[in-house]
Amino acid sequence: MQREILARLGGPKRIWQLGGGLVLLAAIVVAVPVIASPNNAAGPSLEEVLKDVRTLDGQGNNPSAPTNGAAGTPYLRVADPAYPDGVGAMMEGPAERVISNRIFNDGGQNLFSENDASQWVWIWGQFIDHDIDLRDATKGENAPLPFDGNDPLERFQNDFGIVDFARTPAAPGTGTDSPREQINQISSFIDASGVYGVDPIRQDWLRVGPVDGDPTNNSAELLMPEDFLPRVGDRDDQISAPLMELDGPMKEHPELARIAGDQRANENMALTLIQTLMAREHNRIVGRLPDALSEEQKFQIARRVVGAEIQYITYNEFLPSVGVGLPEYQGYDQNVNPAVSNEFATVGYRAHSMVHGVVNAPFAAGDFTQAQLDGFLKGGVGISQGANGANFLDIPLNAMFGNPDLLGQVGIGRLAVEFAAGHQYRNDEQIDESMRSVLFQVPKPEAADPAQCGQPVIVPDCYSVVIDLGAIDVARGRDHGIPTYNALRQAYGLAPLTSFTEMTGESPSEPANGADPSILDFVQLSDINGNVLDPNNEAAVLEQAVSGVRRTTLASRLEAVYGSVDAVDAFVGMQAEPHPQGAELGALQRAIWRDQFSRLRDGDRYFYAVDPALPVIADQFGIDYKVTLSQLIELNTGGQPQPNVFRIPQTQ
């Protein structure tokens, strides 16, 4: 997809070029002023524990292997790369949009988590993704995906005649005489880099104080005008603003972009919310620290605690909420490489099926002026009334893309609570049309009322271009040389499968006729208790259905597309797998997550369970990292969601 740059880093200090053309962001070394330990205090002093802080780019986390997990290094590989020519050619297979139309197409019928997972699962998941993984988004070779307007299962028009796609640039020195590799531009560690960035130039801009390339002479507080992430115009020196990716409406209005530690913070309103929440949490912690500490000490303490909070929530709330259990923690292991794997970044962590297509935010009379309500309608947000008379803002996903101001207009606390109360989509092969066909787009000018273009089902006539995230997911796996489904199962210690029904858990059936649009019709829907629902009932479409029977089985459609299980793309096969009871992931995806999150934990010298600074901070200042996401939301927004925000209230 197309990316744009708000402002480029400039100046001689901003990029460090290493041999072989590989760019690594410089680590920042912090000089900690001396502070005396309390009288009779046991254990290390604050001065001692703050002498050793995380570098911004992850360098030196493991002194014996200093580049493990560092920004600017290639992704780790679990399986051997699968390029047909052995060095870099993309794997061939069925056309990606053809796969998408027959496998990912939800037909306008949403299915929801069978475990009552809330929308905070996908939101936190994306936030963590942006903390550990950023491929080089500059365009490599163009490799557009074919689009067939005459496909009988195609509902959308596409003025371009293709789905835009460009390959990830090859890591320097690869793809000619050795297999093509790709670079992770940020540190692999869960280290709050999404809040603070991975280089001192970005961090310097984000902190209150002078913009001179040296963050250590700045205030401990992050720049947050009116308690929100800053914009470019909030600094006098706008030229030095860090780059941010611009999508959707911001392409025309780059001045609206918010600046954060990660350049993708404006992608959608939910992501902007969690970025804002964690920046507020940093400043809240700073405000609790005594004036006797230097600004740099206060900053490093807050950064340490925020990073630990993010890890604590990830391992104690997020992973259990999706049914991922890890081996018992044995402490830091310098022999474990924590780097993000290509398989995890390119296939395993692409859980786009989970993303809900609409947010229904409740409001009371008087919460908004009529002018504000009119503005919501003009921006594609619907207004509805529930059965009990409650009013709702119906915010479709396409209205949330590239629209950070919507967060403040609707209310961060209101939205944080609503994300905890709203059902997440089931993590299956279906992907909402807002991402499968019209990603980052705004309705064309001659379209119908924009408030109706995404309510509750995407209206194809509102859009003139197809951008298909599901098709791009398949293509990205081929681009990065990810092996096929069965080969990847074997790489993660799982047995290869011999039939499509074994893959999906369904009964055998004849291959589907891929030219018949009726193959996608839902003939039965069921709620979380197994009660049969009417497919024509609007309530079933909106929130209740957790499983459905289509006119043809998923196995039959996969067989019609691929012919052989051994030919299935890893991403497609992974999404087709059934989930064990209580889990949101199938066998292959769960294995990929277990491997990655185990290594991120075991190979991190600063993991919260072994970080010696955290007990000292708790003892001296009463600041504990052991907080839930619900508590963070209440502390920083005033919203009061249920104790476990990853499960909707009915099942607490």
pLDDT per position as a tens digit, 331-370: 999 999 999 999 999 999 998 999 988 888 999 999 999 9
Mean pLDDT score, 73-101: 97
Helix (H, G, I), strand (E, B) or coil at 549: strand
- The per-residue b/e assignment along 19-37, b for 16 or more CB within 10 angstroms, e otherwise, is eeeeebbbbbebebeebee
Strands 382-385 and 391-396 come out as: antiparallel
**Helix locations, 227-364, DSSP H:** 269-288, 295-313, 319-321, 342-343
Q: For residue 319, what are its two tokens?
A: 């992973």
DSSP character string of 101-158:
IIIIB-TT---B-TT-BBTHHHHHHHHHHHHH--B--S--SB-PEE--TT-TT-----
Cα separation of 213 and 416, whole Å? 34
Measured in whole angstroms, the distance separating CA 491 from the mean position of its chain's CA atoms is 25
Domain carrying residue 435 = 96-184+352-581
Indicate if 198 and 53 belong to the same structural domain.
Answer: yes
Please say whether the beta carbons of 269 and 262 come within 8 A. no
Provide φ and ψ at 503, rounded to 5°: -70, -45
Cα separation of 171 and 179, whole Å? 10
Q: For residue 133, what are its two tokens?
A: 């993984």
Indicate if 633 and 485 belong to the same structural domain.
Answer: no
Measured in whole angstroms, the distance separating CA 341 from the mean position of its chain's CA atoms is 16
* Digit-coded pLDDT (tens) for 235-268: 886 667 899 998 777 888 888 899 999 999 999 9
Can you tell me which residue has the tokens 């709330």?
317
Cα separation of 21 and 417, whole Å? 46
End-of-domain residue from the set 539, 555, 581: 581
Percent of the chain predicted with pLDDT > 70:
89
> What confidence score (pLDDT) does residue 251 get?
83
> What confidence score (pLDDT) does residue 454 get?
62
Asked whether residue 11 is assigned to any structural domain, the reply reads no
In the predicted structure, residue 390 carries a pLDDT above the cut 60: yes
Indicate if 402 and 541 belong to the same structural domain.
Answer: yes
Strands 145-146 and 16-17 come out as: unpaired
Indicate if 384 and 300 belong to the same structural domain.
Answer: no
End-of-domain residue from the set 528, 554, 581: 581
Mean pLDDT score, 2-31: 31
Q: What count of residues does the chain have?
A: 652
> What confidence score (pLDDT) does residue 446 get?
62
Cα separation of 65 and 278, whole Å? 30
Asked whether residue 89 is assigned to any structural domain, the reply reads no
Cα separation of 308 and 312, whole Å? 6
End-of-domain residue from the set 533, 550, 581: 581
Indicate if 57 and 198 belong to the same structural domain.
Answer: yes
Indicate if 425 and 518 belong to the same structural domain.
Answer: yes
Whether pTM exceeds 0.75: yes
Indicate if 384 and 478 belong to the same structural domain.
Answer: yes
Indicate if 528 and 425 belong to the same structural domain.
Answer: yes
Please say whether the beta carbons of 476 and 468 come within 8 A. no
Helix (H, G, I), strand (E, B) or coil at 538: helix
Asked whether residue 552 is assigned to any structural domain, the reply reads yes
Please say whether the beta carbons of 345 and 188 come within 8 A. no
Cα separation of 234 and 159, whole Å? 39
Asked whether residue 587 is assigned to any structural domain, the reply reads no
Mean pLDDT score, 179-204: 97
Asked whether residue 523 is assigned to any structural domain, the reply reads yes
**Angle in degrees, 0-180, between the axes of helices 269-288 and 412-421, rounded to the nearest 10:** 120
Indicate if 160 and 230 belong to the same structural domain.
Answer: no
Indicate if 518 and 414 belong to the same structural domain.
Answer: yes
Indicate if 300 and 162 belong to the same structural domain.
Answer: no
In the predicted structure, residue 490 carries a pLDDT above the cut 90: yes
> What confidence score (pLDDT) does residue 398 get?
81
Asked whether residue 634 is assigned to any structural domain, the reply reads yes
Please say whether the beta carbons of 465 and 157 come within 8 A. no
* Domain count of the fold of the chain: 2
Helix (H, G, I), strand (E, B) or coil at 24: strand
Q: For residue 393, what are its two tokens?
A: 């803002």
Indicate if 377 and 478 belong to the same structural domain.
Answer: yes
Provide φ and ψ at 548, rounded to 5°: -150, 150
Q: For residue 357, what are its two tokens?
A: 């297509």
Asked whether residue 621 is assigned to any structural domain, the reply reads yes
Radius of gyration of the chain (CA): 24
Q: For residue 547, what are its two tokens?
A: 């499983």
**pLDDT bracket for residue 620 (50, 70, 90):** very high
**pLDDT bracket for residue 542 (50, 70, 90):** low
Q: Which residues contact 598 (CB under 8 A, 6 or more apart)?
A: 326, 327
Nearest to 124 by CA among 3, 266, 278, 257: 278
* Digit-coded pLDDT (tens) for 623-652: 999 999 999 999 999 999 999 999 997 644
Asked whether residue 82 is assigned to any structural domain, the reply reads no
* Angle (CA) 379 382 383, round 5°: 130
pLDDT top residue among 367 and 27: 367
* Digit-coded pLDDT (tens) for 439-472: 877 677 666 566 667 655 677 777 888 899 999 9
Can you tell me which residue has the tokens 């002018």?
371
What integer best gives the mean pLDDT of the chain?
89
Cα separation of 86 and 190, whole Å? 33
